[in-house]
């Protein structure tokens, strides 16, 4: 054989050898591989023999894996020694339930009310709905989410107006008459508190004072000014006239 022919044969042989090596799997058939397996959340080291893919390893180890389970890397991935294989066991369940939808309280600020006052302008009403829940369990741990909701009774939120007006308007109507009543009731002592449950120049009791928002000015009647006490008295007058005062006889 000539040197040219011999060299060509070596080259051809080398090419065939290279092609043969690249055609082989990552390991030779029959090799034992060590895998780091985490199955259903539990980690362990396993050995497989003659397995070429993740699917082969699953079959050889007799692991239960269905279409919902997550396998990483995928089942067609080739195996290599020391490779990590993670199989999460996944199940899903759908349930339907009737639920009550709680109404919310919506607060709206308004200058038409004094600061600290509240007024309900719309009553709240709970609603009803049918909800579909999907529960997904991964390795024994469950998470539930709402996937569908059908409203069967609309929620009506409660609306409350909240006062922001800090300017207290005084009303000194009927001033002369209030002076006469105060002279009879308290001797015109507008800051009197004798401890008998009646306070100030017009001798308000606390319940009556609060019923017409006297606390806009002061917690107790005798702590308010004369003009403020008369303003509160006019609020009560608008509802009941002079009837609450026994000293109305002096008018």
- CATH assignment at residue 57: 3.10.20.90
Q: What is the CA radius of gyration of the chain?
A: 44
Query: Residue 144's pLDDT is what?
Result: 97
Q: Is the residue at 179 inside a domain?
A: yes
Final residue before a domain boundary, out of 40, 58, 88: 88
- Residue count (the chain): 251
- pLDDT tens, per residue, the chain with 251 residues: 333 233 333 233 333 222 332 333 445 556 899 999 999 999 999 999 999 999 999 999 999 999 999 999 999 999 999 999 999 999 999 999 999 999 999 999 998 888 878 899 999 999 999 999 999 999 999 999 999 999 999 999 999 999 998 877 899 999 999 999 999 999 999 999 999 999 999 999 999 999 999 998 999 999 999 999 999 999 999 999 999 999 999 99
pTM: 0.54
101 near 129, Cβ under 8 Å?
Answer: yes
Q: Is the residue at 227 inside a domain?
A: yes
Q: Is the residue at 191 inside a domain?
A: yes
Owner of token pair 């894996």? 65
Q: Supply the CATH number for residue 225's domain.
A: 1.10.530.10
Same domain, 140 and 187: no
Instruction: Give me the domain span that covers residue 221.
Output: 175-250
Same domain, 102 and 58: no
CA–CA gap between residue 238 and residue 245 (Å, rounded): 14
Final residue before a domain boundary, out of 88, 106, 126: 88
Q: Supply the CATH number for residue 160's domain.
A: 2.20.230.10
Same domain, 186 and 237: yes
194 near 163, Cβ under 8 Å?
Answer: no
The count of structural domains within the chain is 3
Same domain, 202 and 223: yes
Q: Is the residue at 23 inside a domain?
A: no
- For the four alpha carbons of 223, 226, 227 and 233, in that order, the dihedral sign comes to positive
């Amino acid at each position: 054989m000539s040197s040219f022919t011999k060299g060509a044969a070596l080259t051809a042989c080398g090419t065939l050898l290279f092609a043969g090596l690249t055609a082989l799997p990552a390991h030779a058939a029959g090799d034992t591989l060590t895998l780091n397996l985490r199955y259903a959340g539990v980690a362990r080291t396993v050995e497989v023999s003659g397995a070429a893919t993740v699917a082969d390893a699953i079959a050889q180890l007799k692991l239960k894996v269905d279409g919902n389970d997550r396998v990483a890397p995928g089942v067609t991935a080739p195996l290599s020694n020391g490779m990590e294989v993670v199989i999460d066991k996944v199940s899903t369940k759908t349930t339907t339930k009737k639920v009550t939808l709680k109404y919310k309280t919506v607060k709206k600020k308004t200058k038409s009310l004094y600061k600290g006052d509240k007024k309900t302008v719309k009553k709240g009403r709970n609603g009803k709905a049918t909800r579909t829940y999907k529960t997904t369990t991964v390795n024994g741990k469950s998470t539930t989410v709402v996937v569908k909701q059908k409203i069967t009774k609309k929620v009506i939120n409660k609306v409350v107006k909240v006062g922001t007006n800090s300017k207290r308007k005084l009303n000194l109507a009927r001033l002369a008459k209030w002076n006469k009543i105060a002279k009879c009731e308290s001797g015109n002592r507008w800051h009197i508190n004798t401890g008998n449950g009646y306070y100030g120049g017009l001798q308000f009791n606390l319940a009556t004072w609060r019923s017409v928002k006297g606390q806009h000015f002061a917690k107790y009647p005798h702590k308010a000014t004369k003009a403020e006490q008369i303003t509160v008295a006019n609020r009560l007058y608008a509802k009941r006239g002079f009837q609450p005062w026994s000293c109305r006889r002096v008018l």
